[in-house]
């Protein structure tokens, strides 16, 4: 699910309307642990854009026939996937940086070496008879 604003702005009646559900449904979702709206000092619920998007996702799943236990599992798996995607991106960034540093080190090592041409005499080559003669 894409990231949304997390500022708690909406009272329960507005949030319910935006999500297309009854306010009592939001209370049920909260009791089930599917959504956790912010609370004011007077303990009134306040929903954010993120909460509204989550409520819409829950509605999509329940409208598709998924029960609330299934919705909870799907949301958990989606959150795990998002965490994994973020970790993969971090690892890819680390790998790119490591490769950049390694290339710089190799280039520095190459620059620091003195290249000298050292004449070498050819090594003597021993010749043996053909393979057939060796087998006889």
Mean pLDDT of the chain: 87
Q: What is the pTM assigned to this prediction?
A: 0.65
* Annotation: CATH topology of 12-111: Multidrug-efflux Transporter Regulator; Chain: A; Domain 2 (1.10.1660)
Question: To which residue do tokens 């041409």 refer?
Answer: 117
Residue 136's pLDDT is 56
Can you list the residues of the chain whose pLDDT is less than 70? 1-4, 114-118, 125, 127-136
State residue 45 phi and psi, 5-degree precision.
-75, 145
Give CA–CA dist 132/136, Å, rounded. 7
**What pLDDT, on a 0 to 100 scale, did the predictor assign at position 55?**
95
Domain ranges in the chain are 12-111
């Amino acid at each position: 699910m894409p990231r949304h604003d997390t500022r708690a702005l909406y009272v329960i009646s507005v949030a319910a309307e935006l999500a297309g559900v009854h306010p009592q449904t939001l209370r049920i979702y909260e009791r089930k642990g599917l959504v956790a709206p912010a609370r004011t000092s007077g303990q009134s619920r306040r929903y954010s854009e993120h909460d509204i998007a989550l409520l819409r996702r829950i509605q999509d799943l329940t409208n598709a026939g998924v029960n609330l236990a299934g919705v909870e599992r799907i949301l958990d798996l989606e959150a795990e996937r998002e965490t994994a995607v973020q970790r993969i991106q971090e690892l890819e960034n680390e790998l790119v940086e490591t490769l950049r540093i390694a290339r710089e080190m190799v280039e520095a090592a190459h620059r620091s070496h003195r290249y000298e041409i050292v004449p070498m005499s050819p090594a003597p080559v021993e010749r043996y008879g053909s393979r057939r003669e060796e087998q006889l």
